[in-house]
A and B are shown apart, each in its own frame.
Chain A
Amino acid sequence: MRRIAVIVAVVVLAVTAACGEGEDDDGVRDVTIGLLPASVTAAIHVGIDQGFFEEEGLDLSVETGQGGAALLPAVSSGQMEFASSTPVSLLLARDRGLDVRVIAPWTGDGTAAEGTVASANVVLAADPAIRGAADLDGRTVAINALTSVGDLTIREAVRQAGGDPDGVTFVEMGFADMPAALAQGNVDGVWTAEPFISSLIAEGHHAVEGTNNSDAVPQMPTQLIFTSGGLIESDPELVAAMTRALEKTLAYVGEHPDDVRAHVPTVLSELDPDIVARLDLDVYDTEVPRDPLVRVGELLELEGWIENPADIDGLLP
């Protein structure tokens, strides 16, 4: 009981502390966006450098301290105004009654990249016997979070390849722990992202065919920028300004990948410069694609993760 009391107290404090939004004298608005501590976030710094946010009267701070899981609660409690999340998380949240709304695209489907390896997530394996998605049946795959994009798309990939998705065991593991787990043989495959994909390939691991996100859901955006329904209603101008600034940023970074690369160390200061130079950059969408989201919604329903048909219209702007 005492433990519960402590938890209650902490939650109460967190909720009450989660207020605060400022406007400077000169009309510049302080806003915060929560993004992942990953190379994709470099793009937002490019946008800030280019002055896209300033033009809209926004003084944007970027918060990367919180992991993806904490961003939805943070936005809906008002701790921050905007954040990125996956379509899966956003649709799950809406299904449970959390009013989140997408205001802009963010990272897109990896197949649009120029490089040979997709920048979106893919399963890498050591065992040469694991060639295609169907070979994952009966194997263990590490993903960064359960009940999210990883297991949804891998299960679909296995299903499409004629395997039994229930035959795949998923374990949750941080991206950083995956290479060691794969080397130790604790898992047969890891569903990972850059820069780990590049270094694992360099170590002789191979990508499993058909396990890219785009194989399960073509053109699926990996992350979208969202805010809370409450903010859209109470301050539509702020949201509109943010959307415009983000659209300018996305249009610019599509043309200037080197600017993005230059900002990777801003986000990941400890990353080896060699790796930064070789990194496959994320691909950014310039508009939110509707069809892939509908497909994600169908899969969520198929898996039984949501109870009602996915609320795509409520989610999109």
Chain B
Amino acid sequence: MRLLRSTLTAAALPVALVTAWWLISRGSQSFFWPPLSDIVAELRPTWLGERLRADVVPSLLRLATGYALALAAGILAGLAIGLSARLRQYCEPVLEFCRSIPPPVLIPIIMLFAGIGDQMKVIVIVSGCVWPVLLNTAEGARAIDEVLRDTARVYRLRPAARFRHLLLRGASPHIVTGARQALSIAIILMVISEMFAASNGLGFATVQFQRSFAIPQMWSGILLLGVIGVTLALAFKLVENRVLAWYFGLRRHQ
């Protein structure tokens, strides 16, 4: 019952907006502002055929690869930095510098060493989403309870167990926060990276539709990107609820 109600609450605004969009745009004659019904009608023929394999899948693969690499690198470096005050002192200014560079301005430079293929696009995604993961993880590692660390030492947890059961889980509420921020950055960079030296991809195809004045198809690309974003956010929430079940329970009990 509660689940039903919260689902309804969450869905209310989007449903209202989509309905409003549908009604307002109905019968629209504007070239750049076609009816939502036309856009939805374009979704299937535009994206489910050849483009699924040629554009959608490559985009999602690059997104997944870049996001996974950013998570792995961000968590490892973040734990190291969070655990060592010395390392933190050395890294802090550099980290602040790195995170404040918007990745799109780096693309021409990344192209110089990574070429113009998938590798470049994955690096662009990583270079943008590694920072929130890294910084949040470092914060999380610092926040791990001292008594728990002592407990782990007293019971002689080996490095692997310390990493898995103490550091990773202990920092996980912060890691998840960073990973959530990184996910939306990753989607944005997936699209942006496809605007440079691309020859396929969801963002690329959408821009091409715009260039060639295939406006309903362009909107369907934007719609698809939005749907992918929402789907990934929902999937993230599911994973989060599983991984952090203990944390939400703990907070409710306090």
Q: Chain A interface (Cβ within 8 Å of chain B)?
A: 1-5, 7-8, 11, 15, 69, 72-73, 76-77, 89, 92-93, 95-98, 142, 145-148, 169-174, 176-177, 180-181, 184, 186-187, 305
- Is B111 a contact of A8 with CB atoms below 8 Å? no
How far is B85's CA from A158's CA once the two chains are assembled, in angstroms? 62
Given A98-B31, A180-B112, decide whether A5 and B14 contact each other with a Cβ distance below 8 A: yes
Given A96-B212, A98-B213, decide whether A171 and B32 contact each other with a Cβ distance below 8 A: no
Instruction: Give the contacting residue for B212; candidates A7, A76, A184, A305; CB below 8 A.
Output: A305
Given A69-B211, A169-B199, A171-B197, decide whether A186 and B116 contact each other with a Cβ distance below 8 A: yes
Q: Which of B52-86 contact A (CB under 8 A)?
A: none
What 9 additional pairs, Cβ within 8 angstroms, besides A8-B21, A184-B112?
A: A1-B18, A76-B31, A146-B199, A147-B211, A147-B212, A169-B199, A171-B198, A173-B116, A177-B111
- Is A172 a contact of B17 with CB atoms below 8 Å? no
Of the A-B pairs whose beta carbons lie under 8 Å apart in the complex, a sample of 20, sorted by A's number, is A4-B18, A4-B226, A11-B33, A69-B211, A72-B213, A89-B211, A92-B213, A96-B214, A147-B212, A171-B116, A172-B204, A176-B108, A177-B197, A180-B108, A180-B111, A180-B112, A181-B111, A181-B116, A184-B111, A187-B116
- Is A96 a contact of B197 with CB atoms below 8 Å? no
- Is A2 a contact of B32 with CB atoms below 8 Å? no
How far is B31's CA from A172's CA once the two chains are assembled, in angstroms? 26
- Is B33 a contact of A5 with CB atoms below 8 Å? no
B-chain residues with CB within 8 Å of residue A3 when the two chains form the complex: 225-226, 229-230
How far is B108's CA from A4's CA once the two chains are assembled, in angstroms? 29
The answer to whether the Cβ of B196 comes within 8 Å of any Cβ in the partner chain is: yes
Q: Chain B interface (Cβ within 8 Å of chain A)?
A: 13-14, 17-18, 21, 30-33, 108, 111-112, 115-116, 195-199, 204, 208, 210-215, 222-223, 225-226, 229-230
Instruction: Give the contacting residue for A73; candidates B14, B32, B198; CB below 8 A.
Output: B32
Closest chain-A Cβ to B214's Cβ sits at a distance in Å of 6
Closest chain-B Cβ to A190's Cβ sits at a distance in Å of 11
A-chain residues with CB within 8 Å of residue B112 when the two chains form the complex: 180, 184
Closest chain-A Cβ to B144's Cβ sits at a distance in Å of 33
Closest chain-B Cβ to A68's Cβ sits at a distance in Å of 9
A-chain residues with CB within 8 Å of residue B223 when the two chains form the complex: 4
- Is A4 a contact of B222 with CB atoms below 8 Å? yes
- Is A1 a contact of B199 with CB atoms below 8 Å? no
Instruction: Give the contacting residue for A170; candidates B30, B199, B211; CB below 8 A.
Output: B199
Of the listed residues B14, B213, B229, the one surrounded by the most CB atoms of chain A closer than 10 A to its CB is: B213
- Is A96 a contact of B215 with CB atoms below 8 Å? yes
Total inter-chain residue pairs, C-beta < 8 Å: 95
B-chain residues with CB within 8 Å of residue A92 when the two chains form the complex: 212-213
How far is B108's CA from A73's CA once the two chains are assembled, in angstroms? 28
Tell me the nearest residue of chain A to B25, going by C-beta: A8
A-chain residues with CB within 8 Å of residue B30 when the two chains form the complex: 15
- Is A186 a contact of B17 with CB atoms below 8 Å? no
How far is B200's CA from A170's CA once the two chains are assembled, in angstroms? 10
- Is A146 a contact of B211 with CB atoms below 8 Å? yes
Tell me the nearest residue of chain B to A6, going by C-beta: B226
A-chain residues with CB within 8 Å of residue B17 when the two chains form the complex: 1, 4-5, 8
- Is A172 a contact of B33 with CB atoms below 8 Å? no
B-chain residues with CB within 8 Å of residue A146 when the two chains form the complex: 199, 208, 211
B-chain residues with CB within 8 Å of residue A7 when the two chains form the complex: 222, 226
- Is A173 a contact of B196 with CB atoms below 8 Å? yes
A-chain residues with CB within 8 Å of residue B212 when the two chains form the complex: 92, 96, 147, 305
Instruction: Give the contacting residue for A96; candidates B13, B33, B213, B230; CB below 8 A.
Output: B213
How far is B229's CA from A18's CA once the two chains are assembled, in angstroms? 29
A-chain residues with CB within 8 Å of residue B208 when the two chains form the complex: 146-147
How far is B209's CA from A305's CA once the two chains are assembled, in angstroms? 11
- Is A172 a contact of B108 with CB atoms below 8 Å? no
A-chain residues with CB within 8 Å of residue B225 when the two chains form the complex: 3
Closest chain-B Cβ to A26's Cβ sits at a distance in Å of 35
Given A171-B199, A173-B116, decide whether A186 and B111 contact each other with a Cβ distance below 8 A: yes
How far is B201's CA from A172's CA once the two chains are assembled, in angstroms? 12
The 10 tightest CB contacts between A and B, nearest first, are A1-B14, A96-B213, A4-B226, A3-B226, A93-B213, A186-B116, A173-B197, A5-B17, A147-B212, A171-B197
A-chain residues with CB within 8 Å of residue B21 when the two chains form the complex: 4, 8
How far is B213's CA from A147's CA once the two chains are assembled, in angstroms? 11
A-chain residues with CB within 8 Å of residue B115 when the two chains form the complex: 184, 186
Instruction: Give the contacting residue for A97; candidates B31, B198, B204; CB below 8 A.
Output: B31
